[in-house]
Chain A
């Protein structure tokens, strides 16, 4: 995940999939992709912005919107929020802004799994709709890179309402006839899968990301059978017709640039 940031003193990191130790410097140069088994590790949002945008072009939007505890939820919600702020350098589970990719202006949302599992509460909803509103006003394409376990439980029904709120933003893009592209990364499930992640013009996914609505364990308990290993992966949904392409992380920037160029050249 974000080993690179957590233990910078260690020279080696262990791949979370194959367990093989990888030289830290190589791991980072490889965009957190294991050079032995090609496993795509979860990537911090700010690192992703650095990799995707032309150098020095990224400008952040709405960085000071932060969560409250609207239901006075009894578990240590506020404490957890503070911890994740320190851990990720973000105030909630999404980074938004705009910049250029190979010269093409684009607005972008990048979800941060390290912040409460990328869960969507009021802040993610507000930042997504502001992103899409701004993109449609400025006539800019929008890309959202998702990484989320779903709605944020501690905000109860406010969280469920964000499914409609964020989709309202998508509608703005449709009305403005501007391209809206999503990139589903590991994991994109439940509330986020069931809203702005899956109603884009073009839907890309990183290899072997877990995607779906219900969790694997819940399904297995319900149907009382084991599910195959590739169930609910990017490749699975590519085959079933819900994803346009599975794109390797090393090729994501190039792919986005190609698409932006084509939409630009209409």
Chain B
């Protein structure tokens, strides 16, 4: 998958690669030309990545090469044991859950799992959770709280699955139940938006003590396409909607709905995943250290205060 914004960059890079091949044959010295092109690449990068629009970020956040929950787990945890099924009906592969070890600490991990290609995506239903997935997440959260394990949630979903069975099985109740649960748990919860934070389906595992977003991830109450359809009956105006909804990490940090933003290496997480894993791991270990020093029974009170304040309104007298 090639993003429109990175196409000129990728073209330049492949040209450099070609020249290098010619150079190593030893017949011609192209070092001057290569150097010039490399400078051009740097300039172009600066130009592209310092001016990303909200819509550009939507594309980066949805990139199918972007690391998924499973990739983070594999790269950052010294051990991980997957926990499957909701103990009621089914194992929803749109949600990955388990216990793992990071920085010497046992934690519960819950995340939306997207696929890398079409086949993989069909298996994981594009990371769109069903009630069974959210209820699996819920039972793992309960277990974590019982043993005092902190919970780490990786958010990466277009939204909750809009399917027939999902509605029959109470999609809305599954989401509401998790939100209520997460408000009350006596263990730290860290939520990390790694790609798409799609509305209720994201928020079903999104209530926590420390909310982190990767720089190019997005978090929104409605998809830009959905918003554009409602406002202008025209889904192609999604880029305008993306801007109006303030769904980027910097704007959400500014209004205080997000606590931390992790900068991505130039070009986005899909271009340098290893670097991203190490930054995310550093942040998680630091935040776990801080939150785990707070007594468990304080956590629901702190969370209450945190969410109690969210919202902007005006109160007129009389």
**Which A residues are within 8 Å of any B CB, using their own CB?**
62, 64-68, 70-71, 73-75, 121-123, 125-126, 129, 151, 153, 155-165, 167-168, 170-171, 189-191, 193-199, 211-215, 218-219, 222-223, 225, 227, 231-232, 236-237, 240-242
Contact = CB atoms under 8 A, between A and B. Distances in A.
Given A75-B231, A219-B162, 4 more contacts: A125-B310, A157-B219, A160-B220, A167-B176
B172 A163 contact: no
Interface of B: 160-164, 166-173, 175-177, 179-180, 182-184, 199-200, 203-204, 207, 219-222, 227, 230-231, 244-247, 252, 255, 257, 300, 303-304, 307-308, 310-318
Contacts of B311: 121-123, 125-126, 158, 161-162, 165
Contacts of B227: 153
A190 B164 CA distance: 15
13 contacts: A71-B246, A129-B308, A157-B219, A157-B245, A159-B221, A161-B310, A165-B311, A168-B307, A168-B308, A195-B176, A214-B162, A215-B162, A219-B163
A122 B162 CA distance: 26
Contact of A231 (B167, B171, B244): B167
B171 A212 contact: yes
A156 B183 contact: no
Contact of A67 (B221, B245, B246, B313): B313
B168 A240 contact: yes
B244 A71 contact: yes
A231 B164 CA distance: 9
Contact of B167 (A75, A157, A171, A219): A219
Given A190-B200, A213-B160, A168 B304 contact: yes
B199 A160 contact: yes
Given A161-B257, A168-B308, A240-B169, A213 B313 contact: no
A171 B164 CA distance: 30
B240 to A, nearest CB: 8
A219 B313 contact: no
Given A199-B177, A222-B163, A158 B247 contact: no
Nearest to B162: A214
Nearest to B207: A164
A153 to B, nearest CB: 5
**Top 4 A-B pairs ranked by shortest CB distance?**
A122-B311, A214-B162, A193-B172, A213-B171
Given A156-B246, A157-B252, A164-B203, A232 B317 contact: no
B208 to A, nearest CB: 10
A223 B183 contact: no
Nearest to B167: A212
Contacts of B257: 157-158, 161
Contacts of B313: 65-68, 122-123, 126
B176 A193 contact: yes
A170 B203 CA distance: 17
Contact of A160 (B221, B303, B304, B317): B221
B180 A167 contact: yes
B307 A227 contact: no
Nearest to A192: B172
B182 to A, nearest CB: 8
B237 to A, nearest CB: 11
B167 A223 contact: no
A116 to B, nearest CB: 12
Contacts of B303: 168
B167 A194 contact: no
B175 A194 contact: yes
A218 B173 CA distance: 19
Most chain B beta-carbon neighbours within 10 Å: one of A65, A121, A157 = A157
A198 to B, nearest CB: 5
Nearest to B177: A199
A121 B313 CA distance: 9
